[in-house]
A and B are shown apart, each in its own frame.
Chain A
Amino acid sequence: MAAHAPTGRPSQLFRNLNAKIASIPMMLVALVIFLGGTLWTVFYSFTNSRLLPRLNFVGLDQYERLWASSRWMISIQNLAIYGILSLIFSLVIGFILAALMDQKIRFENAFRTIFLYPFALSFIVTGLVWQWMLNPEFGIQSVIRSLGWTSFAFDPLYDPDIVIYGILIAALWQGTGLVMCLMLAGLRGIDEDIWKATRVDGIPMWKTYLLIIIPMMRPVFITTLVIIASGIVKVYDLVVAQTSGGPGNASEVPAKYVYDYMFQAQNLGQGFAASTMMLLTVAIIVVPWAYLEFGGRKRG
C-alpha cells in the first residue's frame, strides 16, 4: 500500500510510522539475531577463541581439528545413519498409516489421537521412556527372555554398535504421527475420480498407490522431507535424555558436540566451527529445495 505512495510527499520515512514502530522487534530479531548472530558465529569460527571469544585468526585450523577429532567423526556418522534411516522409516511408516486411515474407517479420530500423542511430548520425556523400555534388566529384553527365549539379546542403549538404532526407535515413535497427518492431508487432497478411474480399469490398489498416488503427492512428500530433515540435524535432547552420548561416545551427535564444546569444555572455537558445519548441512538440504520448488518462478 505504502509502496504506491504518490510522489511529492515530504518524507517516505514517516509514512506508516506506527507500522514501522510495531515492526521494530521483528527487524531487530531478523537483523541482529538471525543474520548478525549467524555471521558472528561463522566469523569467530576462524579464530582460536577458547574461554572467551577473541579475534585471533587462525584460518581453517578449527575445522581441521574438528574433522580430525574422532568424536566429531562419530557424531557425523551417527547423524548420517540416524538421518537416512529416520527419513526412510518415517516416510514409509507415516504413509502406510495414512493410507490405512484413508480407507473410510470407523474411529478415525481415536486412531489419529493415538498416533499423534507422542508428538506432544518432549524429546526428554520420549528419551526417558524409551531408556526404560530398552533397559536390558527390566525392559523388552528381559520380558522376551522370561517368555522362554533366553538367548534373546536386544540392549541397544548398552551396545556401542547399535546404540543409534535405539535412539532411532524412540525418534520414530515420537515423530511418525506428524508425518501420518501430513500424508493423510495429501491423500485427502487427491481427486476421488482418480480412484474411480483406476477401479474401472481394474488396477490393483497397491499399484495405484505406487504409480499414481505417490507421484501425485510429490509436493507433500517434499515438504514433509524438508520438515523431517531440518529436525534431524538439530537432534539433541533425545540423545541427552536417552544415553547422554554413551556408551563411551558411541551415540554423540553434532548438536551435542556444539553444546559441550561451547558451554562445558570452554573451547568456543571448536563449538563455532561445529555449529557452522551444522548450518552448512541445513543449507545443503534447504537451498536445493527452495531452488527446485521456486527457482523458476519470480515472486516478490
Chain B
Amino acid sequence: MASISTLNTAAASFDAVSSQLASGPSGRKPRRIFAPRNIMLYGALTVAALYYLLPLYVMVVTSLKGMPEIRLGNIFSPPMEITFEPWVKAWAQACTGLNCDGLSRGFWNSVRILVPSVVVSIAIASVSGYALANWRFKGAELFFSILIIGAFIPYQVMIYPIVIVLRELGIYGTLTGLVIVHTIFGMPILTLLFRNYFASLPVELFKAARIDGAGFWQIYFRIMLPMSLPIFVVAMILQVTGIWNDFLFGVVFTRPDTYPMTVQLNNIVNSVQGVKEYNVNMAATLLTGAVPLIVYFLSGRLFVRGIAAGAVKG
C-alpha cells in the first residue's frame, strides 16, 4: 500500500533526524567569531530565540505579580513584588462553574487518565507492531493500511460512532471510556513506530529463538522487549505529551467532574463570570504546561524523535 511505504519513508527520515541531530554539525568550527557574517547569523538567531521565549517569560512574570501591578504596568516588566498567591489560588481555589477547588482536581484527573492510557496504548500497540513485523499473516498488512490511513482522517468523523459504542457498553463519560479512546487514536502511530523498530532488529535473533522452540509471547517478552527500551521511551514521551495536551477527547468523552486539566484550564480562564484575574490565569496556564515542558526538557533528543513521529498523528 502506498501510504504505508510513504509513512515508512517518513519514519525513516525521522530516524535520520534524530541520528543526524545527534551527530551534530561536522567540519571545523568557524574561526573569526566577530566576522560580520557571524554577527548577522547570531543576531538573527538570537532575535528569533527571544521571540520564541517571550510568551514563556510573560507567563512567568504575570503569574508572579499582584493584580494592582498588572493593571498599572505592562506585561513585559518584571514583577516589583514577587507573590506566589496566584499560584496557590490557581492550584487550590480557582473556580469552574460551581466548583472552587482549583486546578488540582483537573491535574489529578489528568494523571488518572494519563497513566492507564499510556500503559494500555503502548502495550497493545507494541504487541501489534511485533505481530506485524515478525509474524505476518494473510490480511495483516491490509488491516495495517487501514489503520495508517485512519491516522489522517479527522477525529471529528469518528467521534460520534465512538460515543455510541461507549454508550452501549455503559462506559460513556467514565475514565475507562477515555482510556479506550486514547488507546484507539494512539494505535496508528505507535503501531507504526514499533513495527518499524522491530523490523529493524536482526532477524537472526528471531529465527534462533524460533529454532529453540520459543513461541509468540516468549519471544516478545524475553527477546524483543528487553532489546527495545529506547523505542518504548520514545513511545512514552509521545503518549504522555499527546494525552496530557489533549482537549477534544476530554471535552467529548468526560463529564465535568472528570474533566482533564486542559479542559478545566480553558473553563477557568475563559469563564465569563467574575473579574478576570490574569495572574491566576497565567499561573494556571503554566501549571498545565509544566508537565509536557518537564518531559521535553528532560528527554532532549528522544523528544524530537517522538514528536516527529507523532506529527503524523491525526
Chain A positions within 8 Å of B, measured between CB atoms, are: 1-3, 12, 15-16, 18-20, 22-23, 25-27, 29-38, 40-42, 53, 97, 100-106, 108, 111-125, 128-133, 135, 138-140, 142-143, 146, 173, 177-178, 181-182, 184-186, 188-189, 192, 219-220, 223, 227, 230-231, 233-234, 236-237, 240-241, 244, 255, 258-259, 262-263, 268, 271-272, 274-276, 278-279, 282, 286, 289-291, 293-295, 297, 299-300
Decide: A111 and B75 in contact? CB cutoff 8 A: no
Decide: B292 and A121 in contact? CB cutoff 8 A: yes
How distant is the Cα of A259 from the Cα of B70 in the complex, in angstroms? 35
Check: B79 CB closer than 8 A to any chain A CB: no
- Interchain CB contact (< 8 A) of B138 among A3, A22, A233: A3
Min CB–CB distance B47 → chain A (angstroms): 11
Chain B positions within 8 Å of A, measured between CB atoms, are: 1-3, 5-6, 9-10, 13-14, 16-17, 20-21, 24-27, 29-30, 41-42, 44-45, 48-49, 51-56, 58-59, 62, 70-71, 74-76, 124, 127-128, 130-132, 134-138, 140-141, 143-144, 146-147, 149-150, 152-162, 164-165, 183-184, 187, 191, 215-217, 241, 244-248, 251-252, 262, 265-266, 269-270, 278, 281-282, 285, 288-289, 292-293, 295-297, 300, 303-304, 307-308, 311-312, 314
Say yes or no: A38-B5 contact (C-beta < 8 A), given A29-B147, A138-B74: no
Decide: A124 and B262 in contact? CB cutoff 8 A: yes
- Interchain CB contact (< 8 A) of A275 among B52, B154, B165: B154
Decide: B152 and A223 in contact? CB cutoff 8 A: no
**Central interface residue in A26, A102, A186, A230, by most chain B CB within 10 Å:** A26
Decide: B278 and A294 in contact? CB cutoff 8 A: no
Decide: A34 and B153 in contact? CB cutoff 8 A: yes
Decide: A125 and B21 in contact? CB cutoff 8 A: no
- Interchain CB contact (< 8 A) of B48 among A33, A97, A105, A185: A97
Say yes or no: A128-B52 contact (C-beta < 8 A), given A122-B247, A259-B156: no
Min CB–CB distance A116 → chain B (angstroms): 7
- Interchain CB contact (< 8 A) of A146 among B45, B56, B74, B262: B74
Complex interface: chain B residues within 8 A of A26 (CB): 124, 128, 131-132, 143-144, 147, 187, 191
Complex interface: chain A residues within 8 A of B16 (CB): 185, 189
How distant is the Cα of A164 from the Cα of B45 in the complex, in angstroms? 27
Min CB–CB distance A295 → chain B (angstroms): 7
Decide: B245 and A123 in contact? CB cutoff 8 A: yes
- Interchain CB contact (< 8 A) of A2 among B138, B147, B248: B138
Complex interface: chain A residues within 8 A of B49 (CB): 111, 114-115
Smallest Cβ-Cβ distance to A140: which chain B residue: B75
Complex interface: chain B residues within 8 A of A286 (CB): 3, 152
Decide: B128 and A25 in contact? CB cutoff 8 A: yes
Complex interface: chain A residues within 8 A of B161 (CB): 33, 36-37, 40-41
Say yes or no: A279-B58 contact (C-beta < 8 A), given A23-B128, A33-B184: no
How distant is the Cα of A34 from the Cα of B142 in the complex, in angstroms? 13
Say yes or no: A34-B158 contact (C-beta < 8 A), given A129-B285, A290-B2: yes
- Interface of A (DSSP majority class): helix
Min CB–CB distance A117 → chain B (angstroms): 6
- Interface of B (DSSP majority class): helix
8 smallest beta-carbon distances between A and B, as pairs: A122-B245, A34-B150, A19-B135, A18-B216, A185-B17, A37-B161, A294-B2, A120-B296
How distant is the Cα of A219 from the Cα of B10 in the complex, in angstroms? 9
Complex interface: chain A residues within 8 A of B164 (CB): 53
Complex interface: chain A residues within 8 A of B296 (CB): 116-117, 120
How distant is the Cα of A158 from the Cα of B297 in the complex, in angstroms? 35
How distant is the Cα of A219 from the Cα of B300 in the complex, in angstroms? 26
Decide: B293 and A181 in contact? CB cutoff 8 A: no
Decide: B153 and A38 in contact? CB cutoff 8 A: yes
- Interchain CB contact (< 8 A) of B216 among A19, A42, A237: A19
Decide: B1 and A300 in contact? CB cutoff 8 A: yes
Contacts A121-B293, A185-B21 supplied; 10 other A-B pairs, CB < 8 Å: A16-B137, A38-B157, A53-B164, A118-B52, A122-B288, A178-B308, A181-B308, A219-B13, A291-B2, A293-B2
Complex interface: chain B residues within 8 A of A177 (CB): 52
How distant is the Cα of A100 from the Cα of B43 in the complex, in angstroms? 11
How distant is the Cα of A115 from the Cα of B160 in the complex, in angstroms? 37
Min CB–CB distance B196 → chain A (angstroms): 15
Decide: B56 and A117 in contact? CB cutoff 8 A: yes
Min CB–CB distance B77 → chain A (angstroms): 9
- Interchain CB contact (< 8 A) of A23 among B1, B29, B143, B292: B143
Say yes or no: A15-B245 contact (C-beta < 8 A), given A29-B184, A106-B29, A240-B266: no
